[in-house]
Amino acid sequence: MNKLTSVRVVVFWAFLVGFFIWDWHTAQPVNLHLEAPIIAIGSGQAPSGGHCATF
């Protein structure tokens, strides 16, 4: 691996880790008591609208 590629890899990972740290500190915490359980995904009101949402 040449020097330019190594620098790009380090810059990429530094940016990605920095983004995750920034996101972790600025995002609102998720209230797990208000989220639907994973088994309930897809249940509820049927979608309506465009051609891809009609059943």
pLDDT at 48: 60
Better-predicted residue by pLDDT, 50 or 54: 50
Predicted TM-score (pTM) above 0.75: no
Q: Where are the domains of the chain?
A: 3-53
Tens of pLDDT, residues 6-49:
999 999 999 999 999 999 999 988 887 887 677 766 666 655 66
- pLDDT score, position 27: 92
Reduced 3-state DSSP string for the chain: CCHHHHHHHHHHHHHHHHHHHHHHHHCCCCCCCCCCCHHHCCCCCCCCCCHHHCC
The more confidently predicted of residues 4 and 39 is 4
More confident residue, 30 or 54: 30
